[in-house]
Structure 1
Amino acid sequence: MSYEMIAILMFSAMLLMMLTGQRVFGVIGFVAVVASLALWGTGGQSMGFSAAMKLMKWYPLLTLPMFIFMGYVMSESRLADDLYRMFHVWFGPVPGGLAIGTILLMVLISAMNGLSVAGMAIGSTIALPELLRRRYDKLMVTGVIQAGSSLGILIPPSVVLVLYAMIARQPVGQLWLAGVVPGLMMAGMFVAYIWLRCRLNPALGPVLPPEELAAVPRSEKMRLLAAGLLPLGIFAAMMVPFVNGWTSLVESSVIGALVTVLAAVVKGRFTREVFETSTRATLAISCMFMWIILAALAFGAVFDGLGAVRAIQGFFVDRLELSPWTILIMMQLSYLIMGMFLDDTAMLVIVAPLYVPLVGALGFDLIWYGVLYTITCQVAYLTPPFGYNLFLMRAMAPPEITIGDIYRSIVPFVGVMVLALVLVMAFPEIALWLPETLYAK
């Protein structure tokens, strides 16, 4: 049997096993170990062990539990309450101002979290009831919260980029910096869309009544402004030492976690329940990601041994005579299709052993491609029928918001994300300028 046929058989077996409902890391790891034993005999049994040793020696992986813990402490201690109140007061006079404030809230939460689930939890519990009470259009606000929470996997510290860094063997710091400008650009595009829609149709996002704004004294506005700067202070305490080279990435993640806990303690919100819930959730999610990375490394090692990447590259470039850009666009389209049925981690570990080496062989920058992959994951988070954020919103939304409302609400925001993806593809400097500039120093 040819190596190409073995690679096709591995993918087919993996997809069929996933249809049985087994966990992603179990399916991928099982196929990898069975294939290695079949190909190389008893020596193949060390494949999984070698992947585990490589995983345990990857020092930057320690950032993963630190940032997850930060996000859950922020969510469980409700440190974001004052932050949203600040946006409520300061952006109230703007058309769609509370929705715009919700996007900005999500940006700041993303800068301290790395996962979309915390942004979704904060948005649905704090912002959604207030927006509906203020007579904002339910389709508008539902789409705003889903799209805003997806920023958590692009704006650093992104856990998804940590996973990509391990599989693609790229530096996490550069990947995080590469996600900053595209993430802020996408948030700005969301804000521009909301403002324009509400400007054209004020009923979608009515401004706060002048008498209500006048009832808030100036001293309260300044107090809220100071409280709203707390997340920025946490982010600065974490990232400034890292950017200036004073601390390593892992050390910065520890600083971020300690400062977040200190902020919760100072506000009197770091209770035993908050600590226990945050610790349990951090342990569960960290273990899940480690199992996924372990399975992906084992699967990728088998593919490297087969030479499948070189065979597929030869098929597309030599036989079909496709240009590198055509192949890249086809890869992104395949991600969008898979995103309708799989989550981001499943997509990455299934095709990373094939796509990442192929992207490098075609001459593209793997840091830049990591940003493209992450933006595609954001689209996948909002794409029916699987869309992870769709399920979260359905679980957290009030009864008056139906699943049909949730599906319709994300259409314009998916369009904005696809536009952002096209811009980053057409102008790679959007993603590469910041890491190249800082690392050049």
Structure 2
Amino acid sequence: MNPALIVLLMFAAVIVLFVIRTPVAFTLGSVGIVALYLINGPRFLQMLPPSIIESMTSIILLAIPMFIFIGCLLEKSGIADEIFDMIYKWLGPVPGGLAIGTVLICVIFAAMVGIVGAATVTMGLIALPAMLKRNYKTSLAIGCISGGGALGFLIPPSVTMIVYASLSNLSIGKMFLAGIIPGMLLASLFIAYILLRSLLNPKLAPPIPVEERATWKEKWTSVKNLAMPFILIFSIMGTIFSGLATPTEAAAVGAVVAMLIVLLRTRSFKKCLEVVYNASEQSAFLTSMVLWIIIGCLAFSAVVNTLGLPLLLKDLIDSIGMNRWTVMIVMMLSFFLLGMVMDDLPIIMITVPIYVPLITLLGFDPLWFGILFIVNMQMAYLTPPFGFVLFYMKGVVPPGITMGDIYRSVWPFIGLQALCLILVMVFPQLVLWLPSMVGM
């Protein structure tokens, strides 16, 4: 059968199965298996299982359940309350201070957890009521939580980065380093926007009343609340970047440190066990979902590799004389549009086997392209009508706030994410400088 026809039938089948709400893992897996049978006949049974077994026993993938476990633990530990208390005391007197503090907490949470939903839901429960109580404009309060929560994509240790790096044969350590400067840049853009708007219109995000402000002694005492989060961040990122541990080993260390933090916070072995049990149950469910999607993707990727699809696309691009930057922009648009209706993992599974070899053939750096993908997913997760962060927010906002209110609140932050994407495209060294300096 003609390779082009097989590819068209594959993507048509994927779209149909998604429309009828077939689970992603079974969609990609079944389409891949049928296509392999059409190409190779029964011989595909000798090719596919060994490939899946080899990939699924990779030590890299072992980091995924541990990072998810850390996220589930901290979501239930109440550590965010302590950080917010410190931020409230230090930044509360500043116009927009609570919103700025919320973005900073999201950065800290992202560096501890590595998953997007945890920071969004946690700050929606803690920071949103505090801001609304102090007459912050609803759109700014919701927008800063939604935008800050999405930083979990870009700031390491991001589970999305781990999956992307493992499927594109990139170093996870390099991927983590590459995300630091763009992540800090985007957080800085959020903070600058909030501060500027609050200074221009103090009624938008007023400082807390004088009678609620903390003394200097209370402020300095509250700094101790950062001790446990930074110990956890150092136990993960410090061991990776210093070369003391691989990302998988660092994830294991981080899981142990997270359990110790829960024990210190609960001051009860029984309560600690209860939190660990609930977090283990939740992380087992999430990990199973991720790994089944990866298995389905491996079957799909096998077809792409068998057909040599990236080379076919490269020949097509050369034949029509398309500029490589035009191809890059088309890829970015496809990521953005897919991200509005699909989760990040299925998009990685579908596009990485095709796009990464192609951009390498076109002469682009795959590490830089990976960070562009991550920024794009972050933007798509925030974009109406189907951005996933919007639905996380809807689950925690007060009943009087509608989905339309949430949609309107995120547009300034989407604009800032688009600006960050453009800056990273125009200045690749924002991504590549730090990994080159560290020598990874």
TM over 0.5: yes
- What's 1:268 paired with? 266
Per-residue Cα deviation, 1:18-77 (whole angstroms, up to 9, x for no partner) = 111001111001000111112101111244413421223311111111111111111101
User: TM-score with structure 2 length normalisation?
Assistant: 0.96
Paired residue for 1:300?
301
Q: Which residue of 2 aligns with 1:122?
A: 122
- Tell me which residue corresponds to 1:96: 96
How far 1:191 sits from its partner (Å)?
A: 0.3
Over the matched positions of the two proteins, sequence identity in percent amounts to 39
Moved more, 251-260 or 29-38: 251-260
Residue pair 1:84, 1:102 contacting (<8 A) in 2 also? yes
* Aligned amino acid, residue 378 of structure 1: Q
Deviates more, 1:350-359 or 1:116-125: 350-359
2:175 is equivalent to residue 179 of structure 1: no
Q: Which residue of 1 aligns with 2:238?
A: 240
Distance in 1 between residues matched to 2:385 and 2:319, nearest whole Å: 35
Amino acid at match of 2:236: M
Aligned AA (1:322): M
- Whether contact under 8 Å (2:83, 2:105) holds in the other structure is yes
Deviation for aligned residue 1:104? 0.2
How far apart are 1:267 and its partner, in Å?
1.9
> What's the CA shift for 1:234?
1.3
Deviates further, 382-391 or 183-192:
382-391
Matched-pair contact (CA < 8 Å) for 2:186–2:417: yes
Partners of 1:119 and 1:357 in 2: how far apart?
34
Greater Cα shift, 190-199 or 355-364: 355-364
Residue 226 of structure 2: aligned partner:
228
1:302-328 deviation digits (Å, cap 9, x = unpaired) = 111112211111112x22211111100
After TM superposition, give the deviation of residue 347 of structure 1 in Å: 1.7
Within 5 Å, which residues of 2 pair with 1:256-335?
256-268=254-266, 271-316=272-317, 318-335=318-335
For 1:305, the aligned partner's letter is T
Deviation at 1:220, TM superposition (A): 2.5
**Shift in Å, 1:383:** 1.3
Number of residue pairs matched by the alignment: 437
Counterpart contact for 1:234–1:259, Cα < 8 Å: yes
Q: Unmatched 5+ residue regions in structure 1?
A: none
| Counterpart-to-counterpart distance in 2, 1:262 and 1:112 | 14
TM-score, length basis structure 1: 0.96
What is the rounded CA distance, in whole Å, between the counterparts of 2:245 and 2:419 in structure 1? 36
Distance in 1, matches of 2:360 and 2:58, equals 22
Partner of 2:160: 160
Question: Could you list the runs of 5+ residues in structure 2 that have no partner in the other structure?
Answer: none
SS in 2 for 1:112: helix
**Paired residue type of 2:290:** F
What residue in structure 2 maps to residue 395 of structure 1? Answer: 395
